[in-house]
Structure 1
Amino acid sequence: MASQLYSTITRHTTMLAILALLLCQIGSAHADTNVRASVDRNQVSSEETLILSLTADSILFSGEPDVSALEKDFHIINRQQSSRTNIINGKVNSSRQWDYTLVAKREGTLTIPALPMGKYKTRPITITVSQASQNRQSGNDAMYMESDVTPRSAYVQEELQYTVKIFTSVNILDASLDAPEVDNAVVEANGEDRYQTLINGRYFQVIERRYTLYPQTSGTLIIPALTLQARVEGYRPSMLDPGRLVVKRSSEHRVKILPPPAEFKGSVWLPAKEVALEENWSKSPDTLKVGDSITRTISIKAEGLLGSQLPALPSINLNNAKLYPDQAKIEKGDDKSQWTGIRSESLAIIPTRAGEFVLPEIRIAWWNTDTNKAEFAVLAERKFTVAPAVANGGTTQITAIDSPTLNTTPSQNDSALVTADNAEQQDTSFADRPNNNLLLWGVIALLLLSNIGFAAAWWRGRQRTFVAVTSPENNSNNENKAFKLLEKSLKTKIDHGELRRALTQWGQCYFKRTMTLSELGKAIPELSDFCQQLDAHLFSGQELVVDTDAILSTLKKVRSAGATKPTQAALAPLYSR
């Protein structure tokens, strides 16, 4: 009895297992029938479109299909979505459909892969893509594309001109043409033209787009075919409806890219049609004086290269001038037929000592792609003579910014008096000449005025000396006022030019002599770096960070250390007689 019961239970269990397996298979088959993929045709040319439709029951799938796998072999140029609801015998059945308009990226046998839709997948579909008809040159086709690349062989980083032309004899309502994507190359758009041409007695509107390519590695450069997507009106009205989507493709191109030749010895590889160096000055360098600021701008111009490909100019050092370089400026020339790269570098120069200074020759090696030879762009050496600084008011001359000296300018009155005293002995007949009497009296009047001016200057000097010696509190008051202005300028950080003036004004009051910012940095070594950075910022726009607390702390220490020093004798040498 027990064995019979065991046999019955075992038999029922086996049947249930088989039934469950069958139900799973039925459910799986049912799922496949409710997630479907289909196409309107399986054979197309490379310029024709096909429509892929994905359908799913709303109960089984409520999201969006993942169609990213299509982009390997197809362009997705349009997407549409629709839904449908059917009621049969009171039973509601809802479904959704996604339609994708596709264009093949290449010829051959392609596969639309299985696409995931939630936990389900569609079945793969095979598509055969044939070559498009070649009747474009005859002018029988109302729309077609042409493309060309020159040269067919080039060096690494040499300019390639890639041109795409769209010919159409019908009105284009809308069109899309992506820029070429080329592996191992830099692609730059170089303009577009529109014009008309006559082919076999038929006028075509031509849209021409130009691109400049710069290959980055040697070997074979592949420029893939471009795909034009357009909606046209009245295009072959007997065959196409108005507004129908039209797809056209250009040809694929292959270019042989060569490495730089072994005979080129330059440090930077520059393959170009022409490379030149140009120099410009903010003012004439032949009239330079100590302390003047002048800006020299050098431009490298290269036909057939990008500005970013051009090298930085070699740095220079001058012992008798301070140099403040500005950031390089990259530009493009105006010639639409080719790319002209321009790199401009500006250098502010401030002579610090009188005499001659020399700007060395600049040589840049480049490879002439027309002659296939190495050449040099040269900017010749320049020599200039720097004159001493012009005295202000005839009393002070700064002979060098780094180490200035303050001198009283020798008065010309003494020599003038000697000349006047000897004039009568040298030429006793001068006064007897009627035509020269007025000139003689003019000279005498000038000499008298010079003596009066000299006496007034001498008297003012004595007065200033007297005030400086007897009233030191005036200097202290001036220094305090100057320091307060400097402190305010540091804290506001509004105008760096005003900060420079406040620093030099305080320095003149504290050290009691005319002082430049460079001299102040030497007098207070802790401020030397900041003074140089401030000058560089004002002359060339270099970044400046003002540490207000550190600068004020340094200045207060200097003032505190110098509080017990004598102050009355500092100006005496300027006015003593």
Structure 2
Amino acid sequence: MVRKTFIPSLLSVLMAALLMLLATPALAAFTASVDRTVITQNETLDLTLRVDSQSFRSQPDTTPLKKDFDILGNRRSSQFQMINGKTESWTDWIITLAPKRAGATTIPALSYNGETSEPIHIDVRHGNTAAGSANSVSPVFMQTSLSRQELYIQQQTVLTLKIYYNTQLVGDSSLTPLEVNGAIVQQLGEVKKYEELVNGRRHGVFEVQYAINPQESGTLTIPSLSFTSSIAAGSDPYNNFFSMQRARPVRAQSADIKLDVKPVPNDYPANAPWLPASNLRLTQKWSSNPDDLKAGDSVTRTLTIEAEGLTAAQLPPVTLPTIAGLKTYPDQAQNEDLSGPEGITGKRTEAIALVPTHAGTMTLSAVQYTWFNTTTGNVEQATLPATTITVAPGNTLATHTQPAPAATTNALPDSVSTQTNAPLDLGAPITKRCSSLPWMIATAVFALLWLVTLGLYIRSRKVLRNDVVDSSPSPKTSESLSEKATFQQLQQACQKNDLLQIKQQFIVWAGCFNNLDNLYSLSAAANSFGHQELKDLLNSLEQSLYSGKSENAFDSARLQAIVSDLRKTHVRKKSDPKDTIISPINP
């Protein structure tokens, strides 16, 4: 009898509890709380939203938080307990927030299932990015420094960013990419990882450097960067594996930096390309001694320009005058950017084959490269002195007929004598005599090889002639150079109406814009767009360059307008850059 009474009673209790759980959401209270109300701009806080019921599918709308905060993390936990026959259940959403700005901020009221939470006032104070922040409660902070605060347009400055942390980072870490309006930005090398003592306390450090070249004068703003990661929320008494699941997001943010960018000095030559560098070297080397040249021989002259603080794309080609009696065959210029702690050093290498057509004395004019020394503030000239070479007469051949020996079945081949200094007599026939079949076969083989060599020589001369027509072919588009940078270089060439620079920069920009690495001619670059007006305009550019017409005959402003329209309407053939420049980094 007791057993029969107990079973229905237990079922009644369970049914009542189930009905209470199902009915509770309609009456459940919804509240909001934070772990602290005073933080710095570089710190985060945890907002806990609680509803007094079990919620498995729906969740509160957190969109209003995005006005003043970045949402770094969102996790949910559900609890159920019974004490002295009284049951309680609730669901928590723990949201990690990072303030977007300093000052008084309010977490707005949020709604869930008809219930509304109370707003919460937060005091966000300015964070300190200096090394003294080691005394702050923040486990992660950032420090920035510039190699120079005041600089000229296109002059390079190096931004060094250090991320300090004094606790274990778990999971992946990321840094927002640096993008500066009106400047070319390049990262220098990989992210460095080391340790540093700050105020007697050991910190792990991530260091990354950027080379920044402003393209506009005036005030330039380097925006703040954000570093996000996760730290262990507390010790776990069971296993380190579970600590990964108890991680708490953390973020550090750098401050904005203002730069004063000065224009080109008034005393800089107007007809010279603007080259602001801390140092520039112009060197040359020869493949052999030019004083040993003979008419018809060739020698290669290699010119190298190295500029500290400039990219290779900013270095213009060397201008060499035409010399009577000396043919020149320039090779494709080689560009290279060398990264170091002091920034980028651009290196341009030009190789020119020289072939004298006759004997005599020839003078190679001095080579001058105008640049601006950013250390001294002076206009300087990198110069190679004039070189005088004496070309000796080339080797010529003449043959004469030898007396015929007696005819015998075992006679040796005729001997042929050469006279090196006598001119070749094209009117006198050259007689040869073979007295054996092997010699005749050998002669035929040598004649065939001579014809093949002659054909290859004629073909190579045609290629060299084509190279002479375009004496300064544009290099391949560098993957490290952005389309924005090449477009700005093209705009500057158009503004100066420098036809040779316009041609070279258009080829470079077209290859970068269309993701083509095999553009070496202006016609190929124009055909890559399929724009008839652009083709006609570039044809007139070629005519102005090589027909001796005035530069005023070419409409560079129209080219600039067409290219600007193409950037807006033409679809680029490249993928979007990734937002994260730091791979997953673990200390």
Give the TM-score of the pair, scaled to structure 1: 0.54
Cα separation, partners in 2 of 1:530 and 1:193, compared to 1, 3 Å: closer
**Retained in 1: the 8 A contact 2:399–2:416?**
no
Report the RMSD for the aligned CA atoms in angstroms: 5.8
**Retained in 2: the 8 A contact 1:517–1:531?**
no
2:174 is matched with which residue? 176
* Superposition map of 1:180-195 within 5 A: 180-191=178-189, 192-195=191-194
**Retained in 2: the 8 A contact 1:359–1:383?**
yes
**Retained in 2: the 8 A contact 1:52–1:99?**
yes
Cα separation, partners in 2 of 1:536 and 1:375, compared to 1, 3 Å: closer
1:472 is matched with which residue? none
1:338 is matched with which residue? 343
* Superposition map of 1:451-470 within 5 A: 461-463=430-432
1:532 is matched with which residue? 465
Q: Which of residues 291, 299, 307 in structure 2 aligns to 1:286?
A: 291
Q: Which of residues 238, 255, 260 in structure 2 aligns to 1:256?
A: 260
Q: Which of residues 139, 142, 151 in structure 1 aligns to 2:134?
A: 139
**Retained in 2: the 8 A contact 1:170–1:234?**
no
* Superposition map of 1:81-480 within 5 A: 103-108=98-103, 130-134=124-128, 137=132, 139-141=134-136, 142-174=139-171, 175-191=173-189, 192-233=191-232, 243-265=247-269, 267-333=272-338, 335-391=340-396, 395=397, 408=398, 461-463=430-432
Letter in 1 for 2:262: L
For 2:453 and 2:416, the matched residues in 1 are separated by 33
Cα separation, partners in 2 of 1:268 and 1:80, compared to 1, 3 Å: farther
Question: Which is richer in helix?
Answer: 1
For 2:280 and 2:309, the matched residues in 1 are separated by 9
1:112 offset after TM fit, Å?
10
Letter in 1 for 2:265: P
**Retained in 1: the 8 A contact 2:157–2:343?**
no
**Retained in 1: the 8 A contact 2:226–2:254?**
yes
**Retained in 2: the 8 A contact 1:106–1:129?**
no
Q: Which of residues 29, 42, 49 in structure 2 aligns to 1:47?
A: 42
For 1:139 and 1:248, the matched residues in 2 are separated by 13
Cα separation, partners in 2 of 1:383 and 1:183, compared to 1, 3 Å: same
For 1:126 and 1:381, the matched residues in 2 are separated by 78
Letter in 1 for 2:183: A
Cα separation, partners in 2 of 1:145 and 1:503, compared to 1, 3 Å: same
1:213 offset after TM fit, Å?
0.8
1:19 is matched with which residue? none
Asked if 1:504 corresponds to 2:439, the answer is no
Give the TM-score of the pair, scaled to structure 2: 0.53
- The Cα offsets for residues 292-326 of structure 1, whole Å up to 9 and x where unpaired, read as 33222211111111111111211432322322222
**Retained in 2: the 8 A contact 1:43–1:127?**
no
Cα separation, partners in 2 of 1:323 and 1:47, compared to 1, 3 Å: same
For 2:319 and 2:233, the matched residues in 1 are separated by 62
**Retained in 1: the 8 A contact 2:183–2:215?**
yes
Letter in 1 for 2:299: I
Match of 2:454, SS state, is helix
Letter in 2 for 1:368: N
- The Cα offsets for residues 453-488 of structure 1, whole Å up to 9 and x where unpaired, read as 659xxx9944469xxxxxxxxxxx99xx98xxxxxx
1:221 offset after TM fit, Å?
1.1
Tell me the percent identity.
Answer: 31
1:39 offset after TM fit, Å?
9.9
1:349 offset after TM fit, Å?
2.1
Letter in 2 for 1:517: I
**Retained in 2: the 8 A contact 1:46–1:129?**
no
**Larger Rg belongs to:** 1
Match of 1:327, SS state, is coil
Q: Structure 1: which 5+ runs fail to align? A: 1-35, 55-60, 84-96, 114-124, 396-407, 414-450, 466-476, 483-497, 507-515, 522-528, 545-577
* Superposition map of 1:64-75 within 5 A: 75=70
Higher relative contact order, structure no. (Cα contacts within 8 Å, ≥ 6 residues apart) = 2
1:281 offset after TM fit, Å?
2.2
Match of 1:383, SS state, is strand
1:469 is matched with which residue? none
For 1:378 and 1:534, the matched residues in 2 are separated by 26
Match of 2:376, SS state, is coil
Cα separation, partners in 2 of 1:534 and 1:345, compared to 1, 3 Å: closer
- The Cα offsets for residues 179-225 of structure 1, whole Å up to 9 and x where unpaired, read as 32211111111234333322333212222221111111111111122
Cα separation, partners in 2 of 1:304 and 1:144, compared to 1, 3 Å: same
Cα separation, partners in 2 of 1:232 and 1:325, compared to 1, 3 Å: same
Cα separation, partners in 2 of 1:282 and 1:105, compared to 1, 3 Å: farther
Match of 2:219, SS state, is strand
For 2:223 and 2:266, the matched residues in 1 are separated by 31
Match of 1:165, SS state, is strand
**Retained in 1: the 8 A contact 2:326–2:357?**
yes
Letter in 1 for 2:205: V
- The Cα offsets for residues 260-288 of structure 1, whole Å up to 9 and x where unpaired, read as 11111151111111111011222332222
2:483 is matched with which residue? none
- The Cα offsets for residues 480-517 of structure 1, whole Å up to 9 and x where unpaired, read as x98xxxxxxxxxxxxxxx9x9649359xxxxxxxxx63
**Retained in 1: the 8 A contact 2:102–2:126?**
no
Cα separation, partners in 2 of 1:126 and 1:219, compared to 1, 3 Å: farther
Match of 2:372, SS state, is strand
Cα separation, partners in 2 of 1:143 and 1:371, compared to 1, 3 Å: same
For 1:109 and 1:390, the matched residues in 2 are separated by 90
For 1:49 and 1:170, the matched residues in 2 are separated by 15
Cα separation, partners in 2 of 1:137 and 1:297, compared to 1, 3 Å: same
Match of 2:134, SS state, is coil
1:410 offset after TM fit, Å?
8.4
Q: Structure 2: which 5+ runs fail to align? A: 1-29, 50-56, 79-91, 109-118, 237-242, 403-413, 419-427, 435-443, 476-518, 522-587
1:128 offset after TM fit, Å?
6.0
**Retained in 2: the 8 A contact 1:159–1:212?**
yes
Letter in 1 for 2:383: V
For 1:104 and 1:312, the matched residues in 2 are separated by 50
Aligned pair count? Answer: 396
- The Cα offsets for residues 99-150 of structure 1, whole Å up to 9 and x where unpaired, read as 986534433577999xxxxxxxxxxx99867224549616323432111123
